[in-house]
Structure 1
């Protein structure tokens, strides 16, 4: 009798353990399925992120390529443009400053327009003229000649010719602004060179850097400069 009771209790325990093991197995399978789904979702998100990154890079490359052949003319009053037309003003600037280039450059203009205000729409200063050329080599030829001539004029009045910079270059130039401000306060005569280099005078010499990392490395050898820029580097 006692043996029978004991066997029954043992069987009940086994049955209970089997049920528990079955539930554990089911739980493990559910956890595994959930882990698989998490992996799938994570992979999908990563792929989505990669696709977005590729799309952003493609758009950035496309935008940079569009801007790469552009030149800005700064300082031409809008009333003068309305009288003559944008392309005519560009032609006059080329003829007046670079007579050797002549019609070859003028004929490469694909588009000419005023760019919209970007900072303050109420400012009374003239907007820039944007000239889109057919090939980058023409833009480079004009900018090189402008740098060599140093001063560009239109009807004897000083104007400026500059490259139309990409978003990345503009951001790189903005990142120098705090350092430029400090250097000006310390009379280091800083300048922001094209396209995004900083130049300043230190210990009687002109120093030029293309990024903050190189400036940081140099400053470690100059304690006074390091102390001056410690909050910015």
Structure 2
């Protein structure tokens, strides 16, 4: 009995050992299969990685080639654009240089012309100043000649219009002889007598003055002095006797009207011979005093004038006039 139990126990152990050995072999086979699969997978992955690496290397090579080509192309394009820009800038600079050179030459020419114009202008001013001086001298001489031609004249203010009738000399001869109490046999020798050459005024306007021309200067002076000593009234109007001055002299004497009025109001005696005013007890000089200060005109050069510049300006003006006539 005990022997059979032992035998069954052995058999059971043997069975268990056999099963265990089978299990171990199965595990070993499975491990081998798994190991083989792992190796196969590793090989597959390695080959895949190698393929990927190769593709990456090929891609790098292609990209490097493409980048090199692109770099060369970009470099060429940039160089071409830079060269074009340089060419355009050079052309523009050349054009600007030519323009500046042309402007420089024009400016130089303009400066030369301006200098010539300034010189000519100064010469013309000198000639003009000389001409004005000569004109003033001639005007003074003309005024003096006109005054001398009027030295036998008397101008009478205040005679009513048409009072003289048909013969002004006869009326004035009778008026002067009667009002000045002259001897009946005196011969005033009135050569001419007429109204001032102006338009006949209206009824309410002051009458025109009358101008009387005597043959002799002494008679004229005698009549004038007597008229100043006596107040003569015609139709309620006082007559005023004065010298017959030239127009320029009359205009200069009018400048003293305000002063004369003020002196009369203050009772100060004064005289106004020709274009001057003389006040007793003063050292004032007239406006035409030759010793007064001479002031140059604003555009007049100070200093002695050169005759050469005036002559040169005169010649240039004559040449310009001749050219103008030829062109016409």
Q: TM-score, normalised by structure 2?
A: 0.41
Q: What is aligned with 1:136? A: 217
CA shift for structure 1 position 180: 4.8
Structure 1 distance, partners of 2:248, 2:261, is 21
Q: Indicate the SS of the match to 1:68.
A: coil
CA shift for structure 1 position 87: 0.4
Which has the higher Rg, Structure 1 or Structure 2? 2
Q: 1:155 to 1:95 in 2, by over 3 A?
A: farther
- Equivalent in 179, 190, 194 of residue 113 of structure 1: 194
Tell me, yes or no, if structure 1 residue 189 matches structure 2 residue 271.
Answer: no
Q: 1:209 to 1:65 in 2, by over 3 A?
A: farther
Count of residue correspondences? 176
CA shift for structure 1 position 111: 2.0
Q: Indicate the SS of the match to 1:78.
A: coil
Tell me, yes or no, if structure 1 residue 146 matches structure 2 residue 224.
Answer: no
**2:201–2:207 Cα contact (<8 Å) kept:** no
1:189-215 CA distances to partner (integer Å, 9 max, x unpaired)?
A: 35664546476xxxxxxx66685679x
Structure 2 distance, partners of 1:153, 1:210, is 37
Stretch deviating more after TM superposition (158-167 or 60-69): 158-167
Q: Indicate the SS of the match to 1:178.
A: helix
Structure 2 distance, partners of 1:211, 1:88, is 44
Q: 1:138 to 1:180 in 2, by over 3 A?
A: closer
Q: What is aligned with 1:45? A: 128
More strand by share: 1
Q: 1:36 to 1:153 in 2, by over 3 A?
A: closer
Unaligned runs of 5+ residues in structure 2 are 1-108, 288-328
Structure 1 distance, partners of 2:248, 2:282, is 17
Q: Indicate the SS of the match to 1:137.
A: helix
Q: 1:39 to 1:198 in 2, by over 3 A?
A: closer
**1:93–1:154 Cα contact (<8 Å) kept:** no
Q: 1:127 to 1:192 in 2, by over 3 A?
A: farther
Q: Indicate the SS of the match to 1:81.
A: coil
Q: Indicate the SS of the match to 2:239.
A: strand
Q: What is aligned with 1:218? A: none
1:118-177 CA distances to partner (integer Å, 9 max, x unpaired)?
A: 9x94443322111122343222121122233x2236699853432223445434443333
Q: What is aligned with 2:174? A: 92
Q: Indicate the SS of the match to 2:164.
A: helix
**1:197–1:208 Cα contact (<8 Å) kept:** no
RMSD: 4.3
Q: What is aligned with 2:48? A: none
Q: TM-score, normalised by structure 1?
A: 0.54
Q: Indicate the SS of the match to 1:126.
A: coil
More helix by share: 2
